[in-house]
Copies of this chain bind each other. A is one copy, B any other.
Amino acid sequence: MKAFTPEIEVAIARTRDEVAALHSELVRNGLVAWTGGNVSGRVPGADVFVIKPSGVSYDELSPENMIVCDLDGSIIPDTPGSERAPSSDTAAHAYVYRNMEHVGGVVHTHSPYATAWAARGEAIPCVLTAMADEFGGEIPVGPFAIIGDDSIGRGIVETLSGHRSRAVLMRNHGPFTIGRDARDAVKAAVMLEDVARTVHIARQGGEPLQIPQGAIDSLYDRYQNVYGQHAKAVLP
């Protein structure tokens, strides 16, 4: 068993609790069906992250069956949960953590409205002030990539690097979101589905009105710095 310091052991335990609990938000917000979807969180101060096991029912998820992986996506042996297979999207999560060091959480779902935009390979235009607040503009589309190598992770990183959006619509697949920590990435997944749905509905009845770019910029700036109980760290 790999020797972590006591401080890291505490941080791992806390991340297990947090990641396990956050999965219930995917269910509560209608983002996932059956065992689909996954949340991971980077352990502060260590080169490891915590992720959901593969194909396990949401009712059975607990801190103990979360899986600890290193940044190559390999399971840390002899840790709780290490006897199980991690989420089949683990390689994509690991790629993001290796290449975006400010990212502390990653979420993947097939939430229906966001995935519908992804199926058409169409970015979601920023026609809501809530999108400007949360994502700073449109939600971009990532490339078509199938599981089995680094191509999903690479597609996420290439699309989101230098972009304000914490969400990417992987073509014909579904959304990935990133955040400061796992909770922030889950929030992005929830807000993404909300705006994907609202803009879809809006467009069914005609063309939504544009928001001037200057207004988008100032909404994004204010929200990233002022909203909530304390100013938020801005993602690069």
Q: Is A88 an interface residue (CB 8 A)?
A: yes
State in angstroms the CA–CA spacing of A171 and B208 once bound together: 10
In the complex, which residue of chain B has the Cβ closest to the Cβ of A127?
B119
A116 with B209: CB separation less than 8 A: no
Residues of A whose CB lies within 8 Å of any CB of B are: 29, 33-36, 53-56, 84-85, 88, 110, 112-113, 115-117, 119-122, 127-130, 144, 146-148, 171-174, 187, 190-191, 193-194, 197-209, 211, 215, 218-219, 222, 226-229
A–B pairs, 25, beta carbons within 8 Å: A33-B190, A34-B187, A34-B194, A54-B227, A54-B229, A55-B228, A55-B229, A85-B228, A88-B227, A110-B128, A110-B198, A112-B194, A112-B197, A115-B202, A116-B202, A117-B202, A119-B128, A127-B172, A129-B146, A146-B219, A148-B218, A148-B222, A171-B209, A172-B211, A204-B204
